[in-house]
Amino acid sequence: MLTQRKFDEYYMRRALSLAWRGTDAARPNPKVGCVLVQETQTGARIVGEGYHAGYGRVHAEAAALDNAANRSEDVRGASAYVTLEPCSHFGKTPPCAPRLVSAGIKRVIVGSEDPNPKVKGRGFDILRAAGVEITAPYLEKECKWLNRGFFRCHTQNRPWVTLKAASSLDGKMALTSEIHAFDNLERTSLRGITGETSLNWAHLMRAEHDGILIGVGTALADDPELTTRRTCGKSPLRIILDTKLSLPPSAHVLKGGCFILTCASGANESKRKALEDAGAEICVLPSGDTGRVDLCAALSALMERGVRSLLVEGGPAVLSAFMKAKLCDSLAFFAAPLIMGEGPALGDGLNFNFMDSVVKLKNANVRRSGEDVLVEGIFQCSPAL
Ligand code: AOF
Ligand code: ZN
Q: What is the DSSP string of 356-377?
A: GGS--EEEEEEEEETTEEEEEE
Sequence-distant (6+) residues with CB within 8 A of 179 are 185, 186, 187, 343, 344
pLDDT number for residue 187:
40
Nearest CA to ligand 1 atom 4: 59
pLDDT tens for residues 44-84?
999 999 999 988 899 999 999 999 999 999 999 999 999 99
The pLDDT-based confidence of 42 (bands split at 50, 70, 90) is: confident
The pLDDT-based confidence of 103 (bands split at 50, 70, 90) is: very high
Q: Among 176-190, 250-264, 369-383, which is the least confidently predicted range?
A: 176-190
Asked about 73 being catalytic, the answer comes back as: no
Task: Give the percent of the chain with pLDDT over 90.
Answer: 79
Pairwise pLDDT comparison (139 vs 43), residue with the higher score: 139
CA–centroid distance, residue 70 to ligand 2 (Å)? 20
Q: Flag whether pLDDT at 258 surpasses 50.
A: yes
pLDDT number for residue 256:
86
Q: Is the dihedral of CA 329, 335, 341, 343 positive or negative?
A: negative
Q: Flag whether pLDDT at 191 surpasses 60.
A: no
| Ligand 1 atom closest to 63 (CA) | 3
Ligand in nearest proximity to the CA of 91: 1
Pairwise pLDDT comparison (98 vs 43), residue with the higher score: 98
Calpha distance 236→252 (Å, rounded): 15
Calpha distance 34→27 (Å, rounded): 18
Q: Flag whether pLDDT at 179 surpasses 70.
A: no
Taking the model in full, what pTM does it have? 0.91
Q: Is 139 left (phi over 0), alpha (psi -120 to 50) or beta?
A: left
Q: Flag whether pLDDT at 184 surpasses 80.
A: no
The pLDDT-based confidence of 22 (bands split at 50, 70, 90) is: confident
pLDDT tens for residues 115-137?
999 999 999 999 999 999 999 99
Q: Flag whether pLDDT at 41 surpasses 90.
A: no
CA–centroid distance, residue 12 to ligand 1 (Å)? 18
pLDDT number for residue 140:
98
Q: Flag whether pLDDT at 180 surpasses 60.
A: no
Pairwise pLDDT comparison (172 vs 3), residue with the higher score: 172
pLDDT tens for residues 197-249?
999 999 999 999 999 999 999 999 888 889 888 888 888 999 999 999 999 99
Mutate to test the pocket of ligand 1, among 23, 27, 29, 96 (most ligand atoms within 8 A of CB): 29
pLDDT number for residue 288:
85
| Average pLDDT value over all residues in the chain | 92
Ligand 1 binding pocket, CB closer than 6 Å? 29-30, 32, 52, 59-61, 84, 86-87, 91-93, 96, 114, 116, 119
pLDDT number for residue 319:
97
pLDDT number for residue 40:
86
Mutate to test the pocket of ligand 1, among 87, 89, 116 (most ligand atoms within 8 A of CB): 87
Ligand in nearest proximity to the CA of 92: 1
pLDDT number for residue 267:
65
Rounded mean pLDDT, 268-290: 90
The pLDDT-based confidence of 336 (bands split at 50, 70, 90) is: very high
| Ligand 1 atom closest to 123 (CA) | 21
Q: Flag whether pLDDT at 183 surpasses 60.
A: no
pLDDT number for residue 270:
84
Calpha distance 177→366 (Å, rounded): 31
Taking alpha carbons only, the member of 382, 383, 385, 384 closest to residue 163 is 382
Amino acid at 111: G
DSSP string for residues in 94-117:
--HHHHHHHTT--EEEESS----T
Q: Flag whether pLDDT at 110 surpasses 70.
A: yes
Cα angle 139-206-247, degrees, rounded to a multiple of 5? 140
Calpha distance 160→148 (Å, rounded): 6
Determine which one of 9, 49, 61, 225 is catalytic: 61
